């Protein structure tokens, strides 16, 4: 096991964010879709799985107890620091986990897909382009891998107590979601799940989607604060002319959090796709 490398400031803040959101992701994910994918995996042989943009491995930690045993994972991310944290946190876990630092911007390395029974990712799909998704679906099809993509933001959110600018900030945030995130061109943002459903249907896969909304109450004040800060920053980037309106909105939203009365719902969807039964057996 390699020794961990120190986290950069950027990775440290991402790691903090991923740590805060992991329990919310676990609570929100669709158990029925996870079971559906577990049923599509081969029985009697080790499951060979790929986790794209793994971060610190939250998706693997969720899935490892819910998929058939004897798993072999490849965990890929561009951040060496987050991958080192994954290795530290999961060194005592029973399943085999290989990590690989790689920029997934073009997805042109087919080798990471070779022999996979499952290709999965969590909190990734809204960052990618339609072209990237088309390539991903083709790679899955080529190996007959099942696919599970969870916690994809769908553009819907609501805040209690309501503030007059909630809609404005959400609209600007959703526009920001569609800017280029370095994964194949302008990101799909809230359209990612419908686009993925179409792409996987076109390659002959069966597709099923389920909601996986975050419902955040006063007990997760730090997660709410980071979310509100992120929304305010994204909205300001899209409309600098609204800087002071957004700053005042942020102050009022944070005051609701501090007072223990803020509740946020953030809309997500999970998507599972699997090949026709006769192809699951041919790899």
Ligand X SMILES: C[S@@+](CC[C@H](N)C(=O)[O-])C[C@H]1O[C@@H](n2cnc3c(N)ncnc32)[C@H](O)[C@@H]1O
Residue nearest to ligand X (CB): 55
Tokens standing for 124? Answer: 């990734």
Stretch that binds ligand X, among 119-127, 136-144, 198-206, 221-229 (CB under 6 A): 119-127
Q: For the CB of residue 165, give the shortest distance to ligand X in the complex, in Å.
A: 25
Tokens standing for 49? Answer: 């799985």
Size of the site for ligand X (CB under 6 A): 18
126 binds ligand X (CB under 6 A): no
Q: For the CB of residue 226, give the shortest distance to ligand X in the complex, in Å.
A: 12
Q: For the CB of residue 187, give the shortest distance to ligand X in the complex, in Å.
A: 10
270 binds ligand X (CB under 6 A): no
Residues 64-83 that bind ligand X (CB under 6 A): 77-79, 82
User: Is residue 60 within 8 Å of 82, Cβ to Cβ?
Assistant: no
122 binds ligand X (CB under 6 A): yes
Q: For the CB of residue 89, give the shortest distance to ligand X in the complex, in Å.
A: 12
100 binds ligand X (CB under 6 A): no
Cβ closer to ligand X: 23 or 211? 23
186 binds ligand X (CB under 6 A): no
Among 53, 107, 146, 257, binds ligand X (CB under 6 A): 53
Binding site for ligand X (CB under 6 A): 18, 53-55, 58-59, 77-79, 82, 103-105, 122-124, 182-183
């Amino acid at each position: 096991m390699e020794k961990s490398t120190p986290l950069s400031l950027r990775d440290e803040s991402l790691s903090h964010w991923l740590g805060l959101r992991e329990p919310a992701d676990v609570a929100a994910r669709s158990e029925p879709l996870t079971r559906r994918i577990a049923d599509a995996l081969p029985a009697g042989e080790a499951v060979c799985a790929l986790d794209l943009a793994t971060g610190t491995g939250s998706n693997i930690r969720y899935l490892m107890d819910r998929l058939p045993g004897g798993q072999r994972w490849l965990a890929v991310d561009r951040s060496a620091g987050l991958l080192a944290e994954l290795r530290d946190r999961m060194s005592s876990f029973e399943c085999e986990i290989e990590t690989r630092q790689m920029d997934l911007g073009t997805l042109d390395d087919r080798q990471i897909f070779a022999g996979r029974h499952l290709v999965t990712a969590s909190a990734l799909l809204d960052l990618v382009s339609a072209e990237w998704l088309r390539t991903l679906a083709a790679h899955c099809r080529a190996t007959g891998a099942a696919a599970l993509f969870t916690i994809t933001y769908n553009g819907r959110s609501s805040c209690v107590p309501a503030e007059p600018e909630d809609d404005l900030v959400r609209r600007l945030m959703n526009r920001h979601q569609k800017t280029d995130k370095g994964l194949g061109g302008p990101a799909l943002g809230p359209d990612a799940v419908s686009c993925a459903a179409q792409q996987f249907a076109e390659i002959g896969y069966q597709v099923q989607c389920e909601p996986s909304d975050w419902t955040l109450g006063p007990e997760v004040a730090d997660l709410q604060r980071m979310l509100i800060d992120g929304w305010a920053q994204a909205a300001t980037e899209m409309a600098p002319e609204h800087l002071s309106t957004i700053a005042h909105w942020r102050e009022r939203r944070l005051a609701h959090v501090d007072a223990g009365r803020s509740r946020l719902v953030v809309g997500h969807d999970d998507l599972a796709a699997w090949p026709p039964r006769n192809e699951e057996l041919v790899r």
